[in-house]
Structure 1
Amino acid sequence: MGRPSHKDNNLNFSKDPSAAIEDMMNQYGTLVLRTAYFYLGDRHLAEDISQEVFILAYRNWTKFRGDSIVKTWLIKITINRCRDHLRLKRSAEIPSDTLFINEPITRNLEEEVIKRMNRTEILKHVLTLPLHYQEVLYLFYYLDFNTLEIAKATGDPEGTIRGRLHRARKLLGGLLEKEGFNK
């Protein structure tokens, strides 16, 4: 009878790698790209890493055991590919707000510009924190991962993630308060 289809956020993924990858790219392509861009700070490099992620997912789809949801699995692959790349070379470009890659402006222009400026200012402060704090803040606030999903994506214990998230919030709050940033 074969292995059942994987389920993720009410979306069934085929057992066939080709069909499953197409669905994953449609559902999570932008998310993978944003995550790679957050880590690397270079749009073109992020696009290359995103392609690598889906190639790896395609090659390993039949080995996917379903220990996590597909979204977490793809983000884990993305994080690992970015970490591998960062070990080799750190990009000089500082990312702006990753949430706005490929996102159309939906409000009036003035409100949108102010929102983006505020988010970019917060992101600049996040990027001054040590990488393990940047990582948990990004995954928690930008990708809406819970602490268990972050633990699975990073390979760290959930208690460690909760501690990092707590310390990262305190550090970021202190930085923002020092700068007089209004919430």
Structure 2
Amino acid sequence: MKPAGTTKKNDFSQDPAQALEQLMDQYGAIVMRTAYFYTGDRHLAEDISQEVFLRAYRKWTSFRGDSSVKTWLTTITVNVCRDKMGVRMFQEQPTDPSRMELGRTISVEEEALQRLTKSEVLQYVLRLALPYQEVLYLYYYLDLSTKEIAEATAAPEGTVRNRLHRAREALAQIMNKGEMSDGRYGS
């Protein structure tokens, strides 16, 4: 079994239609969660996911495979999210999926989004500045390396490592303050 993120292009069909199906099966949930992380809106995340896979389909034959397929799709996802959200992504926080429409059947993606939002650590992460949120999400939730994050966000790798370091420090401070004010952790 291969570790996550090491899948290369030649592990997939060369036919774009077959490759698209394989990509959607293997990375659909990751693309959806990433889009939701950036937008905080399930419907917009679904639209972005469709656009990501449409772009992947169109660019499959020109994708050289210099990076892993996961990194390539994450790069497309980040870019589509940034294009769709523009300045708004720096102002809005993701909404709680439990506030979405009730009475509907919950898809696998929606269930994954609910687990992601309910994560206690994620609630602390969402208090950080967006560049810190982004690097923590990509590093810990998608298991991307700093090099892969640099590729996905078009930031220098040194900047990514710096943001990751500062994000960890800021997260520790926020969580320590939360421990002091939250009786669940003792004193």
TM-score range, shorter chain: 0.7 to 0.9
What percentage of aligned pairs have identical amino acids?
54
Q: Aligned-pair distance for 1:93?
A: 6.5
Q: Which residue matches 1:77?
A: 76
What's the secondary structure of 2:11's corresponding residue?
Answer: strand
Moved more, 9-18 or 165-174: 9-18
Deviation by residue 1:21-60 (Cα, 9 ceiling, x = unmatched): 1100000000000000000000111000000000000011
CA distance in 2, matches of 1:95, 1:9: 34
Shift of 1:96: 4.4
AA aligned opposite 1:169 = R
1:135 — aligned with what? 134
**Which residue of structure 2 lines up, in the alignment, with residue 102 of structure 1?**
111
Q: Which runs of 5 or more structure 1 residues have no equivalent in the other structure?
A: 1-6, 104-111
Distance 1:9 1:96 in 2: 35
Task: Measure the CA separation in 2 of the matches of 1:70 and 1:153.
Answer: 11
TM-score normalised to the size of structure 2?
0.78
Match runs of 1:157-176 below 5 Å? 157-176=156-175
2:3 corresponding residue in structure 1: none
Q: What is aligned with 2:40?
A: 41
Mean CA deviation greater in 165-174 or 149-158: 149-158
Q: Deviations over 1:133-175 (max 9, x none)?
A: 1100000111111111111111111111111000000001100
Note closer, same or farther for the CA distance 1:149–1:89 as it changes in structure 2 (3 Å cut): same
Q: How many aligned positions are there?
A: 164
Shift of 1:95: 3.9
Q: Which one-letter code corresponds to 1:94 in the other structure?
A: P
Report the TM-score when normalising by structure 1.
0.79
More helix by share: 2
Question: Any stretches of 5+ residues in structure 2 without a counterpart?
Answer: 1-5, 98-107
